[in-house]
Each structure stands twice: as structure tokens, then as C-alpha cells.
Amino acid sequence: MTDILATIQRGLKAPKDKENKFGGYNYRNAESILRAFKEVQPEGVSLTMSDAITLIGDRLFLTATVKLHHGGNIIAEAQGAAMHALAKKGMDDAQITGACSSYARKYALCGLFAIDDSTDDPDSKDNSRATDNAAEEDAKAAAKAQEAIGTASTVQELEAAWLTIPVHLRKDKRLLKAATDRKAEITNEKEAA
């Protein structure tokens, strides 16, 4: 029976076929692993998955269990767990539970099929360099925007400078204040002339 699992583990290829554009990394999800399993699934072998929610202290955890079956027997099983959030912006309760289930099932499947994500998994990855780079780019863009705001000599130039600022930086209080102050200066200069 363990020969069946070993054969699946050797043959299963589950590349990271999804892209997180915001975080700048590739990943796989439970559906990707299931698709890869079906490509190497031996005759008479099936896979079942189930979820259970447990309260530990004041936190909910969802535990996914995956079982590999052959000839009516369970030949291997694995579990994965994820903390279940009570709320998440933009998601209703069912979506939160579904996302938590998918996450836990992904790690249960990784365990069962010996899929090693230790070196490239975004969940275990130190994203501080990416965050530092993004912060550095934002700082450069903000400085450039500050300069464009400061050199605008008309309201139209100020508006054009504002439109060159990346959308996510337009909420920056310093840039908002700089634009407001410069607009007042331009208006005062125009009235004085």
C-alpha cells in the first residue's frame, strides 16, 4: 500500500501556477494540487477531504484531513490546520470559512504528497526585502511628487502634477497638505498680481 503513495509522490508535479501580483510571488492552491493528483491517480485510488472546526482558547482553528483510499482501505492520511478569522474585510462568513478550508487543505495535501515548499513558499518567506523595496519606491515617488507640487506655478500644473502621483500615495497626508498649501499659495500669488 505504501508503494502506491510513493508512486504518487514521485510522479506528482504541482508547479506554482498562480501569481500574486501584489506580493510578487507565485504559489499553488489546493485546486492546483488536486489537478496534479488526478494526472497521476492510479486506478482504484481515491482521495477524500474533510474539515473540522475546533475552539482552542478563544480562537477557532479549521483542521483539514485528507485521506488516500485503495480497495476500501485508508492507505495514508494527513492533516493541515489554519486559524479561522471571525471577520475579514470584503468577505462574508462563508467566504472566510471557504478560504480557511482551502488553505488548510493545501497544507494537508502538501503533507500527504510530500510537496516541499520550505524554500519558496510565500507563507514561510521573509517578505521584508520586498516590503523594503516597495517602501523605498514609495519614498522616491513621494519625493518626486513633492517636488512637482512645489514647482507648479498654476492650478492646472498642480492638477497635472497630482495626476502623476501613484493612486495609493494620493492619500498620503503630507502630499495632500503640500498640494493644498501650494494651491493656496498659487491663488494668493494670482490675487496679489
pLDDT per residue rounded down to tens, the chain (193 residues): 668 999 999 999 888 888 887 778 888 889 999 999 999 999 999 999 999 998 888 888 999 999 999 999 999 999 999 888 888 888 888 998 888 899 999 999 999 999 876 544 444 445 445 556 677 777 887 888 888 888 888 888 888 777 777 777 777 888 888 888 888 888 888 788 7
Is residue 100 domain-shared with residue 137, that is, in the same domain?
no
Between the two ends of the chain, the Cα-to-Cα distance in Å is: 91
The last residue of one of the domains, among 70, 87, 112, is: 112
- In a 13 Å sphere around the CA of 111, the CA atoms on its Cβ side amount to 16
Closest CA to 75 of 6, 134, 1: 1
How many domains would you assign to the chain? 2
* Domain span including residue 147: 128-192
Is residue 9 domain-shared with residue 80, that is, in the same domain?
yes
Establish if 106 belongs to a structural domain: yes
Is residue 40 domain-shared with residue 101, that is, in the same domain?
yes
Establish if 120 belongs to a structural domain: no
Closest CA to 83 of 106, 110, 57, 104: 104
Sign of CA dihedral 52, 56, 61, 63: negative
